[in-house]
Every structure is written in C-alpha cells, then in structure tokens.
Structure 1
C-alpha cells in the first residue's frame, strides 16, 4: 500500500472532525453537514482529478477575506463562473483544506492567509452546490474566513478574475442573488450573526 493510501483514512477522519466543528446556520447547512460527513465516511472519491468534473462531486476550499476594521468582504469576479464570489480552489488529494486556502491565497491574491480572529484555521460554513455551465458538477465547499487589509491586496490572478472589490455585508445582501455565488447571501447572514 502506498504511503498516500495509508494517510487517506486519517484525512477522512480529519474532514469529519472539521465538519463536526461547524455550527450550522440553518436547516440547509445542517443537512449539508450531515450529508457531507456520510459522503466522506462512505469512501467516495473526494478530490478532483480531472478538470472540470471528475469526479462529479469534490471538495473545494473557499476563503472570504474580511477587513475586520472596516467590516468589508473581498469578492472576485470569476471569469468562468461569471459571478462575484470568494476566492478559493479545489482541494488536492494530499492537502488539508486549510493548506488549500494557504496555497490559493498566495496564488490568487499574492498575500499570506491570515486566519480571522473568530474562526481561526477551521471552516466557518459549508455548502453543497451544483455549478453552472459546461462540465456541471457539485462543489462541496468549506468556507474559511481570513483577515485582510485593502492596502495589502493590490494584485490578483488576472487569468482567473476580471476584477476584485470590497463590499459591506449589508450592501452585499442588497445585491441580486443571480450575480453572486448562490450561497453568498446565506454566508453573509451567518457572518453578521457571528459578529453581532
């Protein structure tokens, strides 16, 4: 048995522990946490091995950069999705989801990943969402919250994103849902409740 194969049960156990640490915001998140824990425990393939949709359901780490002083979120205009959403990427087979956040934050925004003061290096939110367009698949997304400063984030991956912008949560909730990641309003409501 390869070393990677021996580590797989420990990675799955760690994922189940991460899921158990997420306080569900609503009934949908509660159901997603339970369903995802069952999916992980069942031994199904978890990691994308071929773009865009093999396997048809796989793990993603999202990270929402949050300016705790100004209380604004950083969003990116994702070229392929055609939506405003948080940064993030697919979890690689040998990666912890937090390691994905660290790698993708450096690649996409050119800054180190700094955990938020209230969530740390653990996922804050979980969603299970079918993607749009060609190569439709299901993203099982662990959402992390990072601290960020607009003065430090001055560049972004222009191959992947058309633009970036900072937005206050109340303004984000007033935006049409069809222009955003389909779960972003739910995430924002959970974030506001955690900050209250």
Structure 2
C-alpha cells in the first residue's frame, strides 16, 4: 500500500491554537457544528494537564501556561491512536482543583479530529500529525477580558488571582512560547469566532479535503 493510499484511510486532523481567550474553542465548536453531518471528535489539550501530587495551595501557584505543564507525550500517543482509528481514554481535568480527577472520558475514533489548545502547534510531533494548522490571533485586551469572564464564572477565581496569573504567567508565556508558533500555521484567523468569513473558508477547505479522501478511498477499494 502506498503512502497516498494510507493517508486516504486516515482521519483528517485539524489543529487549532492561539492564546488563552483567543476564541479557539469557539472556532473548534463551530467547525464541529458546521460539519455536523460528518464523524467528528473534539480533543482539547487542556485535558492533558499533568497530574500534580502537591497540596492545593501549591498547585494554584504553578505555571499552567508553560509547555511542560502538559503531558504532551500522552497526547501524542492518543492522537496517533485516533489516527489509526483506535479509541482512547481522555483524562478529565478539574480546573477548580487544578488537578486531574483520576477519571477518563471514552473517545471513539472519527473521520475528522479537531485538536484545540494553546500549545498544539508547539510540539513538532503534534504538528507532523496535522493536515491543517490554525492559529487564532486575537488582541491582548480582548483575550484578557474573556479570560476574566471565564475564570470568574466557571472556575471560581478571584480577580486578584486572575490578574496575578496573567502578569506572572499568561502574558510572558504567550509572548515566549505561543505567539511564535503562529509561523507554523497554515491559516491565521484574526478575532476568533467573530470572523465568519475565515470560518466559512476553513469549513469549505475541510469539506473539500474530506471529499478528496473519500474519493481516493473509494478508488483504492474498487
């Protein structure tokens, strides 16, 4: 079997990256909604934060915006399994407790896999598995406002905690590690989920690639 034949039988993998609060999750969910007729799996890198065997007060002080805070080895392994149409067990992370729960979520294989997270374009092993690499580019002030609303409403953080994290970890880590990965992107989407034109173009491209793979697969099978 040739490499072309093999790729036609593998799922389409789309990586969606960007800073915290950029709108990458919104775009990932829009893609799933707009491609609703297809078999699609959403894999979020946030699920792969490392287990921390530390007291709660120490866990809260950790830098969760550094690449080493993620179990990227496990994520790469799981993505390869999905690529080979094998199911996986995704860790469940509790953001209030800043740790894994010890439980997992079963994820079946799918024809399209959307991988979303701040560092999905950082590790070459992940990039090499992707068919389309997307970077969501949103202004710093908009991202901060969205982060405040999310962390207050859904994670129970105080404003003091949010601002301390932003100044000590989020902003410098974005500038050092995340923003530079924009050069690896095939598509850069300004202003996140509000950019309807970019989302429509991306959706059309994914549909076209899926059509080409289906056509190639049918040709090989026949």
TM-score by length of 2: 0.29
Compare relative contact order (CA 8 Å, sep 6+) and give the higher one, 1 or 2: 2
The structure with the greater share of residues assigned to helix is 2
TM-score by length of 1: 0.31
The structure with the greater share of residues assigned to strand is 1
